[in-house]
Structure formats: C-alpha cells, structure tokens
Amino acid sequence: MDLVIVESPSKAKTVEKYLGKGYKVEASMGHIRDLPKSKLGVDVDNDFEPTYVESKAKADVIKQLKETAKKAKKVYLAGDPDREGEAISWHLAHILGIPENEPVRVTFNEITKTGVSQGMANPRPIDMDLVNAQQARRILDRIVGYKLSPFLWRKVRKGLSAGRVQSVAVKMIVDREREINSFKPEEYWSVDAKFTDPPSRKVFEAQFVSLDGKKTELKDKADADAVLDRVKDQSFTVDKVRRSVRRKSPAPPFTTSTMQQDASRKLGFQTARTMKTAQQLYEGVEIEGMGAVGLITYMRTDSLRISDEARNAASDYILNAYGKQYLPGSPRVYKSKNNAQDAHEAIRPSTPSIAPDSIKSSLSSDQYKLYKLIWERFIASQMANQILDTVSADITANGALFRATGYSVKFPGFAVLYTDGKDDDEKKELPEINEGDKLSLKGIEGKQHFTQPPPRYTEGSFIKALEEEGIGRPSTYAPTISTIINRFYVEREGKSLKPTGLGEVTTDLLTDNFQKYVDTKFTASMEESLDDVELGKKDWRETLGEFYGDFANTLSEAEINMDGKRVKVPDEETDEICEICGKPMLIKLGRFGRFLGCSGFPECTNTKKIIKPTGGMCPKCGKNILLKKSKKGRKYYGCEDNPTCDFMTWDIPVSDKCPKCNDGTTLFKNKGRLFCVKCGYETAARKDK
C-alpha cells in the first residue's frame, strides 16, 4: 500500500476514487507545523532562523499520519499546487522523516482521472524555491505583525493588529473615502433631442456635440439655452451617416482575480464565499451517477494559459452545441501578464463537456452558480467574435450638430453564452435614415448635471485595484479583505467598503511614522522580490535582511516620536436616542467589536448591540423586522420586540407592501417570488428585488 497525503478530506475522497486499490489517501487538514503563536518565533539576529512547532490542534492527525506512513511502502505528498502546498509538504516530510531530495511530491492541477494519473506519474523532489518563498512571506508578515501590532496597542488601544498587506489595503480604502469627501462637484449641461424619421415614425435620441464646427462645452444653463435658442423653429437634416462593422472578442478565461470580480458583480458573492465555493469545486463534488468529481482546475492562478486538450474539448462542445460558425477561424490563445506566475492553467472546467445544467441537481446553489459562471466564461473564450452593425448619424440645424449612435447584432458569437457585464449600454437600433433626410423634432431639452466623485470600492473593484497596484497575490485577496473587516478597520455599507474611525486613525498613525511601509509602490516592489525568491532569483534570507534593517530603525524612531502620546479612536455619531437619559447614542469600539453606547457616559452606562432595521414590518405585531444571526452565524429575520413577539423567518423582507391586504403588510422574498405571510398573496419578484 502507498500513502498519499492531501490537504482536505473532500480532496482525499476524490483522489482515492481515481487511484483505486493499492493506495490509502489521508488528509493533513492544512498546515501541521507553523511559527508559535505566543512569540515571534524568528531569530532576527541569526539569519532569520525560524522556530517551527507542531500544531497542538493537529496532534491526533499527526499521530495518525505517522502510524500510516510506517506501514506504507511509499509516501507521496500531494498538497495543493502552490507555495503553501509545497510548504505543507515540506513540513510533512520533516515530521515523517522523508529526505528533501526524495521524489515524493506530486501535484494535481485538476482532480480528474487524467489530472491525478499525470500527477502520480511525475513525482519530484520538494521544490525548495517554493518552500523558501513561503517561508519568506510567512516570516516577513510575522515580523511586521509582531513588531507593529504592539506599537498600535501602546499608541491606540489593545488588541489592534497591523500587517504588511492589510495596512496598505486599509490605507487604499481610507484614501478613496477622503477623495470622495474632498470632491467638489462641477456643474455641466447637455442638450438632448428626440427625433422621428417620417417614414418609420420610430423615435430615437441624439445628443448635442458642437456649434459652428467647434466642440462646445456647456458649463451652465446659459450655454444650454444658447443652443436651444439657436435651433428653435429650425429644420433638422441628416448631414452625414457612417456605417461600419465592429467585431467584439470574448473575455479570456478566469484568473483568481477576474473570477472574484465577476462573482462579486454578477452573483453578489463576497470574496471569501467565492473562494470557499471554488475550493469545493476543485477538490471534488459528489455527482449523481459519476461519484466524486473535481469540476474545475486549481483556483489560485494569474495565468491565462489553457491546455491543448481543454481547448480541443471546448471546440468540440461548441461545434456540437452551436455549429461551425460559432468557432473562431483559429484557436484562441491568451497572453498572461508579464508578472503572472504560469505554473497553473487559467481557471476552467476540468471536463468542458460537463455542462452546468446537466449536474445542477447534484450541486448546492452556490456551487451551481459559480460553476456555471466559470464554465460559460471558458466556453465563450473559445468562441467566435460577436459582430455588430454600427451606425453614427450627424444631424444639423442652423450650425448646431447633434449625433445619434446605435448598433444592432449581426452575429451574436460568444455573446449567446456569456457577456462580461461591463457594457451597461442597451442595444440601440436607429431607423433606416440617410444623408439629406429631413427629421421631425419630437422634443428637445437642456439637462443639468454635476461631475461625480469616484465611487467607493466594492469587493470586486477593490480586488481589481489590488491587482493593478501589485499588492498581494491571487491567494491573498480574499483573506486580506476578510481580515480588515473582521478587525473593524473597514465595514461594508451595502456592497461598498467604507473605512471606520479606527481604520482612519490607525492609517494616519502608520502613515506618519511608517510611510514607506504603507506605500503601495514599496509594497508592490516587495511582492516582486518575494516572487523572485519563488523563481530562484533571490536568496530568501537576504531578502528578509534587506527589509528588516531599515524597518527596525523606523520602528525605533517611531517609538521616540510617539513617546508619551496616544491616539483616540473617535466615536461615530448616530441618530438613535438613549431611551434612559435622552442623549444621542454613539458607535463605540470594545473588546468584542462595535456597539452602541450612550454619549452621557459615565453618568449613563446604557449600551446595546448594533442592529440594522430591514425596512420590513412584523406581520404579527407591526414593529420593525431586524436582521439577526443564529449561534452558528446563520442570518435570519426577527421582530425587534423579541421575546415578547416570537416572529422569525429565513425569507427576506422587501420594501413592497401587500396589495391584497392593503394595510402596509410587508412582502417577503424567496426563490424569485414575493409573497404575503398573512393572506397568501404571491407574485414573481422583479430583478431589482
């Protein structure tokens, strides 16, 4: 019997199915050794020598693995195919007494029969460049966290944390919020006209462009009125019509970053939810009639490369499902970014012939939605271009030029399956108009506008910004966002990310005293140095040494500059009034997170949980319905008058009221339908609900 050690039980189950008899597959349950929690665990004076300790929580797992390994003919280490998986394999080799140069390391880019067979057929020694890259990142993050966090404890409050990537991430969100707050809107106007072409009577729109051949900005109402006066009682003529054909190419297959962005935008998934679901799809899902199947390739990658086998499988599917015209003239190959790590393929279905709807009954809702997104994006990436007929018409009246644009789909191509969601413009078809045609004016008006500040980051747009700035890597985006929210530096407001008062004061403190270490360019250059360790171009200990000397000096200077000083975290004002003393309640930060406390403290000690009303009213007693959490963290909705009123539901209250009851009764949403719990009224939910 040979022993194969993977990281999780679900992956173990799928791999064991493909290996069959003669193999035993066990799970290490992630890392089994790490730096100690109680101390730094790194000897900075002795070439950054780390001290690793076995996880107490994994004592039974370690014992089981040792016993099984003793009985095995050979042990294979099959952690995930990245630096974390390599490091886990290295630690396992140490605990099990396996020499580093033994060819025992196997990796699976996909958990399929082919992927597992290929991995087992190509065992290799542990890649120490990958291991050292993981060690360098782990030790660097430990040094920053364990050295900077106590500084924050002394200068702000106990329990705070700082991090090499997390502190830069918080600063980016703080900087965006301040950019929004300092933004001064500027007025501008547009003049929009509606016309009909007499033969067709179809109404279409055109926008003012220029006056007397010069592009004209309309800064105020007077400018807009001048245009309106110029064309008053004038005839409008089609001066020029330009027709062309536009070819639109499909988006490439997903990387980790683009998958997270699209799942956020299209599915409303938070990043951690996306990665958890993707991990399940990669490790294997029990499919009716097929057993445990790994449905996607490895989900932590920034490569756009795909195998010839997968490309051919996609072409076969497209040919059979859509026909030859939906295949491009030559197979599509996408080029990865220059700094992409090309060890893995792009994220794609392991078996492209498995369409999402064919296995929907075997998947959870999240698994189905994400698999469908990944499958459609990949298949579409191998399809023919969309072809659009475009038209642009210049319309003139007394020297004023208006322009109407539109397009129609000549051939849908890849868009029959997938669109990237970035084009919000609806299809606009213009009537058949020609140069010299006289148009009928149906209406014309000046419209006031104001320039808008940049929007707050959503999780999707923030991941895009992190990637563009070179902050973190595919494996770190989700944990970084979770960390800064869980530690109350950032909060969600709807789908947006907003800094808290704590996030702002800690950012200011770190910027004033550690400016270099919260600078995006410096952090990006550090990421590149760590990537060079992974590629074998730099020594990991030297890389740590280059960082630590200046960092230690900066920390010493900060201690001197802040000697005897403390920074207060500002309380946030609310509209809520204390029911005991009548003073305003404030949002405060305590050991266990944010809470409401009376501004009259210490005379009034009233405190309570922060609970956001949903806008719905309890159908039993008429009081507010609140969003709550069960002991296991599951969200539900209940009456604010609990325990007097016992109403609770898993269904989502919406702003719509029951038209049948006609007494303001709240409707609830479940699986695309709106319904009333009092009278049984039911209707389909609108897309915006």
Query: What positions carry a catalytic annotation?
Result: 298
With CA atoms as reference, report the closest residue to 27 among 77, 70, 74, 71.
77
Residue 283: name the closest of 275, 603, 47 by CA. Answer: 275
Question: Does an H or E element contain 312, and which?
Answer: helix 308-321
Q: How far is CA 550 from the centre of its chain?
A: 34
Instruction: Please name the residue that has the structure tokens 């067979």.
Output: 117
- Closest by Cα among 165, 158, 173, 177 to 483: 165
Q: Which residues contact 181 (CB under 8 A, 6 or more apart)?
A: none
Q: Is the peptide bond before 643 cis (omega within 30 degrees of 0)?
A: yes
Answer whether 300's CB lies under 8 Å from 474's CB. Answer: yes
Q: Say what angle helices 459-469 and 520-534 make with each other, to 10 degrees.
A: 70
648-651 LR contacts (CB < 8 Å, sep 24+) = 649/677, 651/675
Q: Is residue 206 within 8 Å of residue 428, measured between CB atoms?
A: no
Pairing outcome for strands 490-493 and 652-657: unpaired
End-to-end, the C-alpha distance of the chain in Å comes to 56
- Find out whether 79 and 7 touch, Cβ atoms under 8 Å: yes
Q: Which three-class secondary structure state does DSSP give residue 404?
A: strand
Question: 147 forms bridges with which residues in the sheet?
Answer: none
Instruction: State phi, psi for 379 to the nearest 5 degrees.
Output: -60, -45
3-state secondary structure of 247: strand
- Phi then psi dihedrals of residue 213, to 5 deg: 80, 0
Strand (E) positions, 359-450? Answer: 386-397, 400-411, 438-450
How far is it between the farthest Cα atoms of the chain?
96
Q: How many residues does the chain have?
A: 689
Kindly report the backbone phi and psi dihedral angles of residue 58, in degrees, each rounded to the nearest multiple of 5, phi listed first. Answer: -105, 15
DSSP SS3 for 409: strand
